[in-house]
Amino acid sequence: MDCASCVAHVENAARRLPGVHACEVNLARGRTVVRFDPALTDPQTIAHAISQSGYSAQVEDPALSPANAEEQRLARQQAQAHAWLRRAAVGIALWLPVELTHWVLYLARPHSHAHLWMDWLALAASTIAIAYVGAGFYRGAWAALKHATTNMDSLIAMGSTVAYVYSLVAFAGFLLGFWPVLPDLYFMEAAGLLALISFGHYLEARARDKAGSAIRELLNLAPPTAFRLNDDADREGEAPPEPPSLAEPRFLEIPVADVHPGDRLLVRPGDRIPVDAIVTDGHSDVDESMITGESLPITKTIGDSVIGGTTNHNGRLIIRATKVGAETALAQIVRLVEVAQSTKPPVQRLADRISAVFVPSVLAIALLTGIAWYLIGSWRSYTPAQTWATIAQTVCSVLIIACPCALGLAVPATLMVGIGRGARRGILIRDIDALQSAQLIDTVVLDKTGTITTGKPAVARLLPSNGQNDLDLLRLAAAAEQYSEHPLARAIVAEARRLSLAIPDIQSFTSESGFGVIADLDGRRLLAGNADMLQKHGLANAHQTIATTLPDEASAAMTLVHLAAGQDGNAEYLGAIALGDPIKPDSPAAIAALRRLHLRTILLTGDNRSTARSIARQVGIDDVRAEVRPDQKAHAIRQLQTPPPHSPQRPRPSHVAMVGDGINDAPALAAADVGIAIGSGSDIAKETAGIVLVSGSLLGIATAIRLSRATMRKIRQNLFFAFIYNILAIPLAATGLLNPLIAAGAMALSDVTVLGNALLLRKTRID
């Protein structure tokens, strides 16, 4: 495919088949995504129909890994680029020496016919150029003609043919004596325009390759091989021997494609992790920046999950594969990027509709140009040779310069670069409309739990009573809570283990639902729970002084777990542990980044008002909507988008982005203009959102909005270049102010300009 009219023909060929619901073609990647009813048609039939329309198509092999599929696509693209380079080299070798010699001789003796041999040489060179360099264009034009359609090849083939046939007829007429003066010949223009356009296609193919480099960079993250543990004696729960040597037969180097779930793999320092897995032995820092955008390495130890494609830094790890092949996070990211790059935003659909009628319109303009110059020649009493020479020049120039390549590449090339850059930063664009809509966002609504906060309780403060030691309080509380499944209990135990405290084993354990737990430890009874638990066991007022030690702002966002020791009626109050949902470290910086973009931020949560306001103050959010039930969140979003008309001071409608992570956020994510899901959140939230922040960092919100603005700005620039080029160039060509050779060079330059401008997006600052 060469231009947007090619896209329209491919889409129409597929859509004419029964059972095909939709077909979207990505010109820049040479890829089509078709949605169809398998009861009515199949992929091979669709590929055959597209091939019959003149564009060779084949079904992507589902057995291929994403890396192999991309490798095959790249090989085809490189083969095509090299074919264009060969044609361009032959065309330039045929055209340029003859053209330069012609001009040297002409400038030396401008009115001499002594150099007639040059015209014979030009005829021979252009004939070879038409036959070899123009073969690809003529095949494409013939395939389109068989289906009663037109494309860019039609314009180029007709343009070169007009120049060549006119020159051949004029030269023959002079030799046969039909006119005494040899008219202007365009043999070299026919050869030159084919050479220049072929070279432009080569540059275009190279630029497309750079624009699509994001997927290859992602795929290259996964190493080609892995070291699999090949010893049945090493079973689950048994640590492998001290750092094994790769020379030992226990570890075999195998292709990553041969790794299966459950395989034990060795990851050396500096190696890339081959698949998604769980660490079963070892301790190391892992750099996940290329997948998640998280800049700092993350410490991984036994039980932690690791992502395929990330880099192991300083320690040796033994991992157990959990997801391989197309199920890995990296493969899913690549698939999402491919789908997004193949989907068309509304602005692209507009360009395609224009391009669909563009080539027929240009043919009509070329016909009218020829008629107009014939009438002008008759009116001005031109000789037949002058009239037909002018017609050949102007019609050829119109046909060549009006090729809609730039129009077809303006949007998809920019999207490839923008979406790929986002993917490398851990920002996945699932819905292309979200990328276009994000540029208009003026209000960002954020959920609290799991979005601004971590979503997991953690120990915030230790509040001992009666001279108790902080760590003793935590150790005893962890002992009482160690067998509880309650999230607060788990947080207390996790904190004790983080501080390397020795947690004593208890003799008995009882859980009292809604109150807390009771445990026996070395003859003492431990009571751990809420204030009602204390009251139930005769310690109604013991905790009052502890509660007052917390500032009002902190107490609103924290939960107290009280600890007492002793029998009912004779228990001693030991103190309390304050737990809260910690704010993510980068949340304040993320809100500050949104403020710098002049965006309004709103905290929307089902939590109580005092807790919500406390969290909002800590991160810098002014507007709080608290105690909102899940079913009311979508209504709150719609109210921001379209305020009720009866409001006393009705604010203007907002373009709203909703940021959330939970199942309860899904309706609001769907209702918002742009839904942004946290990568660590629920699958339902991620499926509903148009943008997913893989790392879970809220800093990605501002980056995504800047990326949207930069991408759409480049798209508008490219569409302007494409449209203004044709608007200005066609009249110049029709009035005879452009030589066909200049027209060919300008057309090739327009394609390279659009692609080059798209590639500048790689350098645009989005941080």
The residues carrying an active-site annotation are: 447
Lookup result for tokens 């325009």:
193
Q: What are phi and psi of 724, to 5 degrees?
A: -65, -30
Beta strands in 27-115 (DSSP E): 31-36
Q: What are phi and psi of 103, to 5 degrees?
A: -70, -35
Whole-angstrom distance, CA of residue 241 vs CA of residue 197? 64
Torsion of CA 704, 710, 716, 721, to 10 degrees: -150
Residue 263 and residue 321 in contact, taking contact as beta carbons nearer than 8 Å: yes
**Full DSSP string of 272-308:** BP-SEEEEEEE-EEEE-HHHH---S-EEE-TT-EE-T
Whole-angstrom distance, CA of residue 600 vs CA of residue 619? 14
Give every CB contact of residue 289 below 8 A, 6+ residues apart in sequence.
295
Whole-angstrom distance, CA of residue 717 vs CA of residue 746? 18
The neighbouring-strand residues paired with 433 are: none
Among candidates 147, 145, 116, 140, which has minimal Cα distance to 194?
140
Among candidates 556, 649, 533, which has minimal Cα distance to 607?
556
Residue 394 and residue 735 in contact, taking contact as beta carbons nearer than 8 Å: yes
Lookup result for tokens 């996070």:
329
If you ran DSSP here, which 8-state letter would residue 662 be given?
A: S
Whole-angstrom distance, CA of residue 498 vs CA of residue 703? 34
Q: Which two tokens stand for residue 256?
A: 């990553």
- The amino acid at residue 420 is G
Give every CB contact of residue 765 below 8 A, 6+ residues apart in sequence.
706
Whole-angstrom distance, CA of residue 431 vs CA of residue 688? 10
Residue 692 and residue 698 in contact, taking contact as beta carbons nearer than 8 Å: no
Q: What are phi and psi of 211, to 5 degrees?
A: -65, -30
If you ran DSSP here, which 8-state letter would residue 102 be given?
A: H
Burial 490-505 (b: 16+ CB within 10 A, else e): ebbbebbeeeebebee
Residue 663 and residue 629 in contact, taking contact as beta carbons nearer than 8 Å: no
Are β-strands 600-604 and 572-580 bridged in parallel, bridged antiparallel, or unpaired? unpaired
Query: How many CA atoms are closer than 13 Å to the CA of 385, on its beta-carbon side?
Result: 18
Among candidates 281, 253, 271, which has minimal Cα distance to 314?
271
Whole-angstrom distance, CA of residue 525 vs CA of residue 523? 7
Whole-angstrom distance, CA of residue 539 vs CA of residue 545? 13
Query: How many CA atoms are closer than 13 Å to the CA of 470, on its beta-carbon side?
Result: 8
The neighbouring-strand residues paired with 287 are: 311
Residue 155 and residue 400 in contact, taking contact as beta carbons nearer than 8 Å: yes
Q: What are phi and psi of 60, to 5 degrees?
A: -65, 130
